[in-house]
Amino acid sequence: PTIYAITPTYSRPVQKAELTRLANTFRQVAQLHWILVEDAAARSELVSRFLARAGLPSTHLHVPTPRRYKRPGLPRATEQRNAGLAWLRQRHQHQRSQPGVLFFADDDNTYSLELFQEMRTTRKVSVWPVGLVGGRRYERPLVENGKVVGWYTGWRADRPFAIDMAGFAVSLQVILSNPTAVFKRRGSQPGMQESDFLKQITTVEELEPKANNCTKVLVWHTRTEKVNLTNEPKYHLDTVKIEV
């Protein structure tokens, strides 16, 4: 099956560095299609140029987050992930039995190559541990006799699926047979996006544990430090135009 990676991304000084790390990983994965969704009113020059040289099968989408949702404490990238889902459904509307696996790959996380081997065998919805998240070294699904029976987490243990966006994959079949499943702005608190989405397509009992019964961390919720630009000149002082 093809792996479809939906990556929301937005313009900031570290954007190209993040996308470079991600492309360097994805380039080593067979049959991966990158769906890069810019949080912007139009496709940017920077991302267009970057993707053209990335050497990866890709689709370049864009949708701006409405200004009222760009606030601390509100979930991010809702509209961008939904745009990726809509594209996938549209593309497969006449070829409904093609094998595929979807996962949500934020642009700042760190992904091991082993993770892609694990998720490729997803039948419906698979799950695995995520490192450096929830105020702990890792969060993970608790597994007994091959089934998920609970969650090891230090944060909001009341979540029906106490899992980060980087901790699950969904088969294309499930995405196509649940055409109304989307990320919702209304009533979705931060940290509940994953649960609100997963509730629409699966149950805890049905989850398929990966990464040796969820005992190996293969993806890390790394976050990039905000860059220090205090010495940046107000106007372009350099002698030539620089691609950065």
CB 82 within 8 A of CB 66: no
Catalytic site includes residue 194? yes
89 binds, among Mn ion, ligand UGA, none (CB under 5 to 8 A by kind): none
Q: Which stretch binds Mn ion (CB under 5 A): 33-41, 104-112, 116-124, 130-138?
A: 104-112
The structure tokens 């055409």 sit at 179
Draw the binding track, 14-53, toward ligand UGA (x: CB under 6 A; -: no contact).
-------------------------x--------------
Q: Which stretch binds ligand UGA (CB under 6 A): 4-12, 94-102, 149-157, 169-177?
A: 4-12
Interaction of residue 196 with ligand UGA, rule CB under 6 A? no
Interaction of residue 192 with ligand UGA, rule CB under 6 A? no
Interaction of residue 223 with ligand UGA, rule CB under 6 A? yes
Interaction of residue 139 with ligand UGA, rule CB under 6 A? no
Q: Output the smallest distance, CB 6 to ligand UGA, in A.
A: 9
Instruction: Please state, in angstroms and rounded to a whole number, the distance separating the CA atoms of residues 35 and 4.
Output: 7
Beta strands across the sheet bearing 2-9: 58-62, 32-38, 2-9, 100-104, 168-171, 125-127, 208-209
Interaction of residue 87 with ligand UGA, rule CB under 6 A? no
Helix, strand or coil, per DSSP, at residue 55 = coil
Answer for which of 77, 83, 88, 175 binds ligand UGA (CB under 6 A) is: 77
Quick one: CA dihedral 101, 102, 103, 108, positive or negative? positive
Cα–chain-centroid distance for residue 90? 19
Strands 110-111 and 219-220: antiparallel
Q: Output the smallest distance, CB 193 to ligand UGA, in A.
A: 6
Interaction of residue 108 with Mn ion, rule CB under 5 A? yes
Q: Output the smallest distance, CB 11 to ligand UGA, in A.
A: 9
CB 24 within 8 A of CB 113: no
Return the number of the residue (49 or 223) whose C-beta is nearest ligand UGA: 223
CB 211 within 8 A of CB 129: yes
CB 185 within 8 A of CB 69: yes
Taking alpha carbons only, the member of 164, 157, 95, 102 closest to residue 128 is 164
Q: Which residues bind Mn ion (CB under 5 A)?
A: 106, 108
